[in-house]
Amino acid sequence: MYFPQFNTIGLPEIFTIIAGVGFVFIVIHYIINYATFSFFKKNYIEEGTTNIPISVIICARNEDDNLTEFLPKVLTQNYQNFEVIVVNDCSFDNTDTVIEEFSKIFPNLHKANIKEDAYYKHGKKFAMLVGIKKAQYDNLVFTDADCYPNSDNWLNEMAKGFTVNKKIVLGYGAYQKMPGLLNKLIRFDCFIIAVQYLSAAIKTKAYMGVGRNLAYSKELFFKMKGFSTHYHINSGDDDLFVNAASTNINTNICVSTDSITYSKPKVKFKDWRLQKARHITTAPLYNSNSKLKLTYGYFAQYFFYLSLIPLFFQLNTLLVFASLFILKSIIFIILLNNAAKKLNEKDLLIRGVFLELILLFIYPIFHLTKLIYKPAKWTN
C-alpha cells in the first residue's frame, strides 16, 4: 500500500502525522503573512492628494556611474513641486562632478557634501541625516543611487501615500531581471520579504521598509530622534526606523506598478551573502511582536520540509509525501498569484515553489556569515 493504514501506530503513521502538522503550520504562515497583501485590492491603505511638496534624498559614495545612468530618471519625474538632494558622502570618484553637471540642467537638484574626517568615521545614517536636514520640505522620499523608478509617475504615486494620518509610506524596491539562478533567488527573496512587510502594514502592524523605496515625514523623523536608538548599527536606516516609528495609524503602502523602483542586483553569490549578512544584523532589534511573527514563519517552513524527509524514504508514505508537497505548492501559488501580478514578479510565481526551498538551504549561510563578517561603515 502507498498510504499508511493506521491499523497500528508505527513509524510511517507517526511520520505522516508529523508531516500533517507541518503542513498546517506552513499554510497558517502563508495565510498570515502572504494572503493579506495578495488579496488587498487597492494600491494604498488610504489615498491622499498629489502635488504636495516632496524632497527626494539620495545618499551616494563613489556612485558616478550609477548617478549618470539613473539620476535623470528621478529628476524628470512627472511631478510639479519637488527637489532632489544628493548627499555626496566622501566620494573620491567623479560623483561631485556628475552632480554639478546635472544641477546646471535641473535647478531643483541640490548637493550636500561630506568630507572625509580622519578622526570620525561615519556610516550611511549620518549621510541621511545631512540630507534630511538640508531638505526644505516635510515629506521625504528615499531611494538609492543605484536605483531607478519604473516610470516617471513614481513620485506622483508615492506622494499619494501621504495623508493627514499617514506619515510613513512603504513602497516596493525590486531588483532588475537578469539571467541565471542567482538573480531569481535574489528577486524572489526580495519579493517574499516585501509581501510580508506589506501584509503587516495593511494589518496596521508594519515592522519594516526598504530604503530603495521609502517615504516618511521630516517631522516624524525628528520626533523619533532620528536613528539615535540604533545609530551604532551599520544597517537599519530603513527597517529599524520603520520598526520603531510605525504605529497602527501612521503607515501606508504604495504598490502600483508605476511606484516600483528597480536596483542593480548582486551578480556574485559572495557579494549577496555579505549583503544579506549585513541586513540581518538588524533583526534582533525589532520589537517582540515582529520577531515572533518572523520566527514563526521560518519555523513553519523548516518544520514542514524537514517533516517530509522521512516520508520520501518509505514506500507506503511516498504518496503522502507527494500529496502534501503538491497541495502546499498549489496553496502557495494561489495565495501569491495576485501579489506577483501587483509587484510585477509574475515570472517568479511557479519557480517560487522551488526557490523557497533553495533559500531555506541558503539562509543558514547568511547567519553564519553574520557571525564572522565585519562590514565596512558605509553600505547600501
Cα separations in angstroms, 2 against 226, 307, 328: 60, 18, 20
What pLDDT score was predicted for residue 376? 53
User: pTM score, two decimals?
Assistant: 0.92
What pLDDT score was predicted for residue 2? 61
Rounded to whole angstroms, how far apart are CA atoms 32 and 199? 8
Residue 104 grid cell:
546646471
Place of cell 507506503: 316
What pLDDT score was predicted for residue 321? 92
What pLDDT score was predicted for residue 116? 74
What pLDDT score was predicted for residue 3? 63
DSSP SS3 for 262 = strand
What pLDDT score was predicted for residue 7? 64
- Positions of the chain with pLDDT under 70: 1-8, 117-121, 373-380
CATH: 3.40.50.2300, 3.40.50.720, 3.40.50.2000, 3.90.550.10. Which one for 54-265?
Answer: 3.90.550.10
> How many other C-beta atoms can be found within 10 angstroms of the C-beta atom of residue 118?
5
- Residue range(s) of every CATH 3.90.550.10 domain in the chain: 54-265
Q: How far separated are the first and last CA of the chain, in Å rounded?
A: 56
What pLDDT score was predicted for residue 277? 86
Nearest 5°: phi and psi at 149?
-70, 150
Residue 237 grid cell:
536606516
Q: Which of 82, 91, 86 is nearest to 102 (CA)?
A: 86
Query: What whole-number percentage of the chain has pLDDT above 70?
Result: 94
Helices (H) and strands (E) in the chain, counts: 13, 10
- H runs (alpha helix) in the chain: 11-30, 36-38, 64-75, 95-105, 124-134, 154-159, 181-202, 218-223, 239-245, 269-279, 288-312, 318-342, 352-372
Rounded to whole angstroms, how far apart are CA atoms 132 and 126? 10
**Residue range 35-51, pLDDT digits in tens:** 999 999 999 999 998 78
Cα separations in angstroms, 74 against 56, 79, 108, 149: 9, 10, 11, 7
Residue 129 grid cell:
541625516
Four-point Cα dihedral 114, 115, 119, 120, nearest 10: 10
DSSP SS3 for 179 = coil
